Amino acid sequence: MGLILLIMGTLLLAALAPINAEWPPSPGYWPSSRFRSMSFYQGFRNLWGPQHMSVDQNALTIWLDRTSGSGFKSVKPFRSGYFGASVKLQPGYTAGVITAFYLSNSEAHPGYHDEVDIEFLGTTFGKPYTLQTNVYIRGSGDGRIIGREMKFHLWFDPTQNFHHYAIFWSPKEIVFLVDDVPIRRYPRKSDATFPLRPMWLYGSIWDASSWATEDGKYKADYRYQPFVARYTNFKASGCSAYAPAWCRPVLAYPFRSGGLTRQQYRAMGWVQSRHLVYNYCRDPKRDHSLTPECWL
């Protein structure tokens, strides 16, 4: 009997172990350690849904229920910088729910805005979250959607612990990072395909049932409310829109003269070869004349 119980316990542990137990190679450089963390109220204010937000010991909790979600916004705009937060997501059924951390100037330029997104697309029981990165340029997200989505399944369970997600935006490139591992680089190949106007930093949780989970197949189910997201370890460092013209952009790599190191590229290649699940540049249904950066 003891042997049977031991075998059953081993099988149960194997079933519960993360599918993606393998971790990426070290990037060799950890940009998050270069920037000071700040409390929520040092850099942000509630934007909407104040009754669905709480702050405790510098950690922010926002939630969505049948009545509302919630969102927040940085107190100042930036024209470049490093923007990060440690986030923990809700387990279980979260289909239709978006948890987001992103740059945008939609309020300053309604109908003609820029945006750089990290979005966690909710899921159904037994399926992983999808991390979606996206870039909109001067209105390409307003009415006529021209997204530049790359989607990933993470190599860990984002509901178990806090993990650090960041956007590095400089005049020459955008880099998306997870726990300091670069997962995507979006270079400035032309002014027409790159966001150049100042943007604010936002976060939110909201109902996007029409598209979030398997193109809208699964909707938010409020029997599982509230849907909760937790943020901490906020970082927003760089040249604000009010800084003098000589303000030097911060770096996400060790040497000012170069870009990502060979070791950072190696880590990014590992992620993209194993965990990338969608790349807009490789989608045959897309009109790539609208996304010339795919072939420039």
Selecting among 107, 119, 173, 293, the annotated active-site residue is 119
Q: Is 115 a catalytic residue?
A: yes
Contact 234, 37 (CB under 8 A): yes
Our answer to whether residue 119 is catalytic in this structure is yes
| 95's tokens | 């289909």
- The C-alpha torsion from 109 through 112 and 113 to 114, rounded to 10°, is -140
Catalytic residue among 22, 115, 173, 214: 115
User: What is the number of other CB atoms lying within 10 angstroms of the CB of residue 59?
Assistant: 17
CA distances to 22, 71, 177, 189 from 53, in Å: 35, 8, 26, 39
**Integer Cα distance of 125 and 108 in angstroms:** 39
Residues in Cβ contact with 6 at an 8 Å cutoff, skipping those fewer than 6 apart: none
Active site residues: 115, 119
